[in-house]
Amino acid sequence: MSAKPSVLFVCVHNAGRSQMAAGWLRHLAGGTVEVRSAGSAPADRLNPVVVEAMREVGIDITASTPRRLDHATAEASDVLVTMGCGDACPVFPGKRYLDWQLDDPAGRDLAAVRPIRDAIRARVEQLLIELSAGTARPGTDAGHASNH
């Protein structure tokens, strides 16, 4: 395992929750974590309301594009965080999994997306603490999945 932990955020369309989580982790980790995101059934583009919600907090995710979850990306990640993809999210042995129960921002207005964005930030901050302490990787005592 490399010295730099890697996190993969997965949701269905890779256009909202997983993109916000990836944006937060890139922003807060300052290059200390390799950040990936993917979807089980990716959309054609990012949710524009999600892009605006992140812009409000100074994070530009416009360069991100939804991508399909593939075996190689999952295998190369230390921690997989799933967000509402249920059985569509495959399981890879030896990986740490977190399942974050979050509302889907699809079809919601900016006022409804802001609390989702802020909940994701809080979870990303906690994950970053765990990664910094070395407890968020498989094979560690605190490497259990948690629901928030």
* Catalytic residue IDs: 11, 85, 89
- What residues contact 34, with CB distance under 8 A and at least 6 apart? 4, 5, 6, 7, 77
- CB-CB contact of 7 with 35 (8 Å): yes
